[in-house]
Amino acid sequence: MSWALCIWVSLLVTSITTWVYKWRNPKCSGKLPPGSMGLPLLGETIAFFKPYSNLDIQPFIKERIKKYGPIFKTSFVGIPVIVATDPDFSYFVLNQEGQCFKNWYPDTFTKIFGNQNLATLHGFVYKHLKHMILSLFGHESRKKMLPEIEENVCKKLKLWSTQNSVELKGSTASLILDLTTKKLMGLDQGKYSDKLRDCFAAFNDGLISFPINIPGTAYHKCLEGRERAMKMLRDMLQERRENPRENPSDFFDYVIEELKKEDTLLTEEIALDLMFVLIFTSFETTSYSLTLAIKFLSDDPSILKSLTEEHEAILRNREDANSGLTWKEYKSMTYTLQFINETARLANLAIGIFRKALVDTEYEGYIIPAGWTVMVCPPAIHLNPDIYEDPLVFDPSRWEGSKYTNASKTFMAFGGGMRFCIGTDFSKLQMAVFLHSLVTKYKWEEISGGNIRRTPGLHFPNGYHVKLKKKEI
C-alpha cells in the first residue's frame, strides 16, 4: 500500500511540476518577449492591482520595464498578455486592427459593459454606430450645444458658491451626467437622473478592481450597479416608445427610428449597451479630469494666472460684455487646450488599451502568438522621460507649437487607431467651458482631500473638498 501511495504522490508531483513548467514556458513558433507568467491561472494579477498613491507609472509596469525592457510578457487571471510600453510598437498595434489585431477586452469587462457594447463590435456594425454617435456629437452639433453647456455650468457654479463645501469629483460628475443624459435621452433632472447617478457611482468603484464576483466585493457591487442602470435605461426606452416625439432630437429618438427599419443592424441590446457606455465614459472620465485639473491649478498659482489671463482677455475683447461664449472664442483658447492635454497626459485614465492577436505577428525579433492579448500602456508612454522632459511636472507650456493632436505615437490619452475615443472633442469642450466660467467668475480655497490613489484606476479616496466664492468685480 505504501509503494502504491508513493507512486501516486510521485505522479501527482510530476504532473503539477510539468503543468507549472508549461505555464511558465508557453509554446511559441518564435521568440516570446521576456517576462514572467506568474502563478498558474492567477498569473501576476495581485501585483498588477496593488494600490499606489502618486501620478507616476504603475510600480508593476515600472519594475518590469526596468527588468525586461519596454515589451514584456505576463498574465492576468489566466490570460497571457504582452505589455507594450514602447511608442512605436504601441502605435503599430493600434493601427493594425482587422489585420494583425482586433479590439478586445477581458470577459470581466464585457460583463460590466455588456456583450454588445461598442468595444466588442467590429467592421460595418461598429462604423455604423460610430456614424450615429458622431451625428449627435460632431462638429456642428457641438457648436449648437455650446450655449446650453455654458448655461448649465454657470447654474451649477452659482449653486456651489452658496455651499460651505463642494466635493468636486461628485459635483462635476453630476454636472457632466446632466449634460450628457439630456443630449442622449432628453432627460432633465428628475426621477431618473439622480438614480442613474447613484448607479454609476457604485459601478465605478468596481470597474478596475480584482474580478471576483462575490457579494461584498467591489466587482460584485459594480455588476449590481450595471443591472440597476440597465433596468432604468430599458424603462426609459420603453417610455419613449410609448410616447414618441414628433421631431427627433436625441439619441433615443434616433434609436427608435432605427429599430423600426427592416434592414437595420441595430438591436435593442446593442442600443442599450451603447447608451450605457456613452453615459459612463462621459460621466466618469471628464469629471476625474476636471477634478484633477482644479487640483493642478490649486497647486501652481502661476498656471492659474496664465489660464485666467487667457479667459479674461476673451471677456475684454467682446463687444457685448454680457454675451455668452462663441465658437470662435472657444477655438481661440490656445493655452486652455494645452492645459487640457497636459491634464489628460498626467491623469492617465486609460491604464491599458487591449487588443488580441489574430495571427502570429513578428515585431523586432519577438513573436506575439495568435490568441494572445496585447495591452498597450499609455501611462508608460506619457511618463517616459525620453519623450517628455520632467514627465511628472505639470507643464501646459510643453504643448506649445504642437498641433494638439488627439492621438499620436506619444499621446494616447484618448486611444488610437480607428478606435480613437468618439467623445474626445465633446469632453474637451465641456472642460474648456467649465474652466472659462470658473476662473473668470470664481475663486476657491481647498478645505480637505485632494490626495489620489490608484488601484490602478484613478481615485480620490477622501474626495476633494473646496469652498467656492464669487469674485468681486
CA 43, distance to chain mean position in Å, is: 25
> CA-to-CA distance for 362 and 30, rounded, in angstroms?
9
| Residue 28, marked binder | no
C-alpha grid cell for residue 165? 463645501
By C-alpha distance, which of 133, 140, 221 is closest to 180?
133
d(CA 55, CA 58): 8
Q: Which three three-digit cell numbers place residue 94? A: 493600434
First to last CA, the chain: 95
Work out the angle at residue 235's Cα, subtended by the Cα atoms of residues 259 and 111, and round it to the nearest 5 degrees.
80
Residue 226: all three cell numbers together: 450595471
User: What's the distance, CA 458 to chain centroid?
Assistant: 10
DSSP letter, residue 56 = S
Strand order, beta sheet including 464-470: 166-167, 464-470, 442-449
- Are residues 380 and 237 in contact, defined by beta-carbon separation less than 8 angstroms? no
- Summarize the chain as % helix, strand, coil (round to 5): 55, 10, 35
Omega before 34 within 30 of 0, i.e. cis: no
CB 431 within 8 A of CB 437: no
* Euclidean distance between CA atoms 336 and 53, whole angstroms: 27
Q: What is the C-alpha separation between 42 and 70, in angstroms, rounded?
A: 23
DSSP class of 365: T
The number of helix segments (H) and strand segments (E) in the chain equals: 17, 12
Instruction: Return d(Cα 188, Cα 31) in angstroms, integer.
Output: 57
| Measured distance CA(384)–CA(411) in Å, rounded | 11
Strands 79-84 and 373-376, sheet pairing: parallel
From the list 20, 31, 47, the residue with the least C-alpha distance to 82 is: 31
Query: What residues form the annotated binding site for heme?
Result: 421
Query: What residues form the annotated binding site?
Result: 421
